[in-house]
Amino acid sequence: SIQFQLRKLKKAAADAAPKVFASSGNAWHSLSCPASELNLGVTLACGQSFRWRQLEQDGYWAGVHADKVWLLRRPNEACIEFQVYPPSTSAASDQQVLEDYLRLNGPTLESLYAGWSASDPVFRSVCSQFPDVRVRLLRQQPLENLFSFICSSNNNIARISQLVEKLCKHFGQQICIVDGREYHGFPQLSALCSPEAEPRLRELGFGYRAKFVVESARRLLDLGGADWLHSLRGSAQPDEIRRCLTKEFTGVGRKVADCVCLMSLDQLHLVPVDVHVMRIARSLYGLPASTKSLTESAYQSISDFFPSLWQPHAGWAHTVLFAADLARFQHLKSPAIV
């Protein structure tokens, strides 16, 4: 009928219209999480994920995870608070997603830091100098994690964040607008495989990485898409996963493969090595500097060394030292005790 068609058109128009929200009109949900278990600012900005922004004027961190917009803040030392957009009907299910992302159902930071400090005097010293660097290892979605680190080649955190944001803005679907800011989901593989994708990425400043993104998207689609990548999570054969990632995807070398294995495929013992980590290994631990560059043999020796100190969560411990060494967090260093 005509009435049915009109209702259908109105619904389609409503679905297509931007969803606009104001955080001030919605309740914040509380999640028990002591400050000793999570420093939001360090965890969200230390180079694990690249989609979080601190909006100081609004008093929260905003980011996209699992195709939802998340606002996070710490009102006190005992808990964090969150909002999710578009709003869901179940704060409990939202909390489960957030707890999984922050690995709050896993070991406590207190127990992890105590174990690493007991086995490693250097780690103990760094923790005493940076008591507020309380870093949780994020459990990320494999698809976004893979393509974010394909964009990381020869880049710093700020630049990677810009590229990932461009990738989502120009190829992802809009999720909603919150407090006047537009948020997009991570692109579907089909969008990254289109004939227009590579030239558009080059226009956006991706350079040679544009080819890596498009070719890897096409290969992943052939293999079974995001579901295939997710099926690798928790495998008992991490070396096979690493070899598979480096073999199948253009622009994925050992370091990027290890980052994906650690951050989204539950291989928490793996330590990704770059020049930053190599410098830590040599300056703090005295590993020999046989070459200035990160050779394959240097990578192997460093990636073997750290797990011997920090198992079974060596990759998490490495993330703590990585964060403490970043220039952006040096203001957290405790003044010397005289």
Annotate 179-224 with three-state secondary structure. Answer: CCEEEECCCCHHHHCCCCHHHHHHHCCCCCHHHHHHHHHHHHHHHC
Which of 44, 78, 107 represents a domain boundary (last residue)? 107
Please list, residue by residue across 272-290, b when 16 or more beta carbons sit within 10 angstroms of its beta carbon and e when fewer do: bbbebbbebbeeeeebeee
Q: How confident is the model at residue 326 (pLDDT cuts 50, 70, 90)?
A: very high
CATH number of 124's domain: 1.10.1670.10
59 lies in the same domain as 96: yes
Q: Say whether 11 is catalytic.
A: no
The answer to whether residue 297 is domain-embedded is yes
The answer to whether 109 and 37 are in contact (CB under 8 A) is yes
- 122 in a structural domain: yes
Tally the domains of the chain: 2
pLDDT at res. 8: 60
Beta bridge partners of 21: 178
In a domain, 113, yes or no: yes
* pLDDT score of 58: 84
Whether residues 116 and 67 share a domain: the answer is no
Q: Are residues 52 and 100 in the same domain?
A: yes
* Residue 326 DSSP SS3: coil
If asked whether residues 123 and 74 sit together in one domain, one would say no
28 and 80, same domain (yes or no): yes
Task: Write the CATH number for 36.
Answer: 3.30.310.40
Residue 173 lies in a domain: no
Q: Indicate if 48 and 124 belong to the same structural domain.
A: no
Residue 207 CB: number of other CB atoms within 10 A?
A: 14
pLDDT tens-digit readout, 81-112:
999 999 988 999 999 999 999 999 999 999 99
The verdict on 123 and 65 lying in the same domain is no
58 located within any domain: yes
DSSP state of 80: E
Nearest to 139, CA basis, from 277, 302, 313:
313
pTM: 0.92
Within a domain: 174 = no
In a domain, 146, yes or no: no
Contact 263, 48 (CB under 8 A): yes
- Of all helices (H) and strands (E), which one includes residue 29? strand 29-32
Q: What is the pLDDT of residues 252-298, one digit of tens each?
A: 999 999 999 999 999 999 999 999 999 999 999 998 877 778 999 99
Shared domain for 18 and 100, answered yes or no, is yes
Tell me how far the alpha carbon of residue 330 is from its chain's centroid.
21
Whether residues 27 and 49 share a domain: the answer is yes
Angle, CA 98 vertex, CA 232 and CA 74 arms, to 5°? 140
Which of these is catalytic: 19, 68, 255, 333?
Answer: 255
User: Is residue 187 domain-resident?
Assistant: no
- Shared domain for 88 and 121, answered yes or no, is no
- Report which of residues 56 and 186 the model is more confident about: 186
Residues spanned by the domain of 296: 108-128+268-328
Indicate whether 77 and 19 sit together in one domain: yes
Same domain for 114 and 36: no
